[in-house]
Amino acid sequence: MENSLYISNMKKMKTAEKIFYKLGQKAGETYAKGKWYLHSAFGSQEEAIKAEYLLGKKLAKEMLADIYIDVNPKLNELVKGIGNKLSYRLTNKYRKFTFYIQYTKDVNAFALPGGFIFITYGLLKKIEKEPDEIAFVLAHEMMHVVLGHSIGRILTKYSTQVITTILMKYSKFGAIAKQVIGKFINSSYSRENELEADSMGVKLMNAAGYNSKGSEKLLMRLDKITADNFKFFNYFNSHPPITERIEKIQTK
């Protein structure tokens, strides 16, 4: 059984390596389009999503080795329950999402390629466990993955050779993966990416039965905290400003 699983995983890894290698041949050192798999000749959409998932899984493994995860059963049940409800409403069933609560006072949330979503205890505490607000945070991050923003952010900063190295060199990828994660978390999405994730995130919330007003409530809450000089990471300091995001959501 273990041998069969190993062979299966090796085949998946080879597929991922092949896709990223061909991507490098096609686009040179970097490739800015996160949704490259939608109209590519590098394999089926399913194969490309699997390749992205394997990359995200490697990065998440390194991330989890360096942070504390909140194991509070009730809090995890709340977050994962909301996340799974949102995931169920996605039309692309090739996508799978995993949700983690990082145990830190920092107010933050981010999504690694492949669907590995992190939300901090500090943010959940500020939200006061409001399901509609949590749903907006998770839906927003999930949309960054679905829309190709997360993988695109990495592909614009790193050569496909670096990405393939992370996938291939099982015993030596740690240092490179940590570098990728560090730059990823401390960089920002574009204004267009953020507004698109907001817009599509609200639609996903509605589809899953959550009140989209929770998005406005959350952003207003964060805007007030920012005004009080609370320390935020790039996720909330990034452009566009929170006030603009609220205005755009209200006009939908």
* pLDDT above 80 for 214: yes
Taken in order 217, 223, 225, 231, the sign of the CA dihedral is positive
More confident residue, 47 or 90: 90
- Percentage with pLDDT > 90 across the chain: 34
Cα separation, 13 vs 32, whole angstroms = 23
* pLDDT above 80 for 56: yes
Measure the CA dihedral 32/186/235/79, to 10°: 100
Task: Give the model confidence (pLDDT) of 87-126 as tens digits.
Answer: 999 988 889 999 999 999 888 899 999 999 999 999 999 8
Residue 112 · residue 63 · CB < 8 Å: yes
Q: Domain for residue 28, yes or no?
A: no
Q: Domain for residue 237, yes or no?
A: yes
Q: Domain of residue 88: give its range.
A: 2-23+34-250
Task: Say how many domains are in the chain.
Answer: 1
Q: Domain for residue 136, yes or no?
A: yes
Strands, E, within 107-202: which ranges?
Answer: 109-112, 116-120
Q: What is the largest CA-CA distance in the chain?
A: 57
Cα separation, 98 vs 173, whole angstroms = 22
Min mean pLDDT across 146-155, 165-174, 179-188 is at 165-174
What mean pLDDT, rounded, does the chain reach? 78
**pLDDT class of 204 with cuts at 50, 70, 90:** very high
Q: Domain for residue 29, yes or no?
A: no
Cα separation, 211 vs 97, whole angstroms = 22
**pLDDT class of 36 with cuts at 50, 70, 90:** very low
Q: Domain for residue 6, yes or no?
A: yes
**pLDDT class of 239 with cuts at 50, 70, 90:** low
Q: Domain for residue 199, yes or no?
A: yes
Q: Domain for residue 89, yes or no?
A: yes
Min mean pLDDT across 7-16, 61-70, 138-147 is at 7-16
- pTM to 2 decimals? 0.80
Question: How many CB atoms are located within 10 Å of the residue 58 CB?
Answer: 24
- Secondary-structure percent of the chain, ordered helix, strand, coil, rounded to 5: 65, 5, 30
- Token pair, residue 217, equals 């409530």
Strands, E, within 22-121: which ranges?
Answer: 98-102, 109-112, 116-120
SS3 (DSSP) at 30: coil
More confident residue, 129 or 239: 129
Q: Domain for residue 98, yes or no?
A: yes
More confident residue, 196 or 164: 196
Say what the pLDDT of residue 33 is.
43
Say what the pLDDT of residue 81 is.
97
Strands 109-112 and 116-120: antiparallel
Task: Return the H-helix or E-strand segment holding 17.
Answer: helix 2-27
With CA atoms as reference, report the closest residue to 184 among 95, 63, 78: 63
